[in-house]
């Protein structure tokens, strides 16, 4: 199966929302993506295509750390259409996302998700860097794409208000 990962193009927002709705079985994550886009906070948006159809998506947005705006970036929401899960498309999206971060010279990436899934990409519990997100515990993870990027950062992480439905 040939999979193409590339940056979102104009007119693809509905297909992207559909992937999130199908993957999560609800509209919340699609609404987060739409809100980020509408508020200019969708700093990067990558899609996975199989035979010209969008089957996966991942969003990149700014996060505030310990009161410092734009101190890091968040990976997510991430979704792969249920018909295409378990075939490595999620991994391709995460790899491309991290590569994108390096090109953009982002330092630190945080993610809220299954430790067993993100650990394989190098994410570790964010508390090792002194970073916390509400009561997320081990599900809140971080990765220094630029070594040492977390130095001097600590405290509570705040996602963009779009994640709270704003």
Ligand X SMILES: CC(C)(COP(=O)(O)OP(=O)(O)OC[C@H]1O[C@@H](n2cnc3c(N)ncnc32)[C@H](O)[C@@H]1OP(=O)(O)O)[C@@H](O)C(=O)NCCC(=O)NCCS
Span 75-114, contacts to ligand X by CB under 6 A: 78-80, 85-91, 113-114
Span 107-126, contacts to ligand X by CB under 6 A: 113-114, 116-117
Nearer to ligand X, 22 or 66 (CB): 22
Strands 53-65 and 155-158: antiparallel
Nearer to ligand X, 32 or 79 (CB): 79
Span 4-43, contacts to ligand X by CB under 6 A: 23-24
Nearer to ligand X, 88 or 137 (CB): 88
Q: Could you give the CA distance from residue 114 to residue 96 in angstroms, rounded to a whole number?
A: 19
Q: Confirm or reject binding of residue 57 to ligand X (CB under 6 A).
A: no
Nearer to ligand X, 138 or 151 (CB): 138
* CA–CA distances in Å: residue 122 to residues 112, 126, 132, 146, 157: 14, 12, 18, 12, 19
Please identify, among the stretches 37-45, 72-80, 102-110, 150-158, the one whose residues bind ligand X according to the rule CB under 6 A. 72-80
Q: Could you give the CA distance from residue 22 to residue 79 in angstroms, rounded to a whole number?
A: 9
Closest residue to bound ligand X by CB: 90
Nearer to ligand X, 71 or 112 (CB): 112
Q: Could you give the CA distance from residue 124 to residue 138 in angstroms, rounded to a whole number?
A: 9
CB within 8 A of 113, min separation 6: which ones?
76, 78, 139, 141
DSSP state of 6: E
By the 8 A CB rule, do 45 and 12 touch? no
- Min separation Cβ 15 and ligand X, Å: 15
Question: Which residues of the shown chain bind ligand X in the complex (CB under 6 A)?
Answer: 23-24, 78-80, 85-91, 113-114, 116-117
């Amino acid at each position: 199966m040939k999979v193409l990962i590339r940056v979102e193009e104009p007119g693809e927002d509905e297909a992207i929302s559909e992937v999130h709705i199908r993957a999560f079985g609800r509209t919340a994550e699609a609404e987060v993506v739409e809100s980020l886009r509408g508020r200019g906070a969708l700093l990067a948006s990558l899609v996975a295509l199989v035979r010209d159809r969008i089957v996966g998506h991942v969003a990149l947005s700014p996060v505030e750390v310990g009161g410092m705006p734009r101190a890091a970036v968040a990976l997510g929401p991430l979704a792969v259409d249920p018909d295409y899960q378990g075939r490595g498309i999620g991994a391709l999206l995460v790899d491309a996302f991290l590569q994108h971060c390096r090109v953009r010279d982002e330092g630190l990436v945080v993610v809220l998700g299954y430790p067993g899934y993100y650990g394989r990409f190098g994410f570790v519990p964010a508390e090792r860097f002194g970073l916390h997100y509400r009561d997320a515990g081990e599900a809140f993870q971080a990765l220094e794409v630029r070594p040492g990027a977390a130095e001097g950062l600590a405290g509570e992480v705040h996602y963009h208000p779009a994640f709270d439905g704003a």
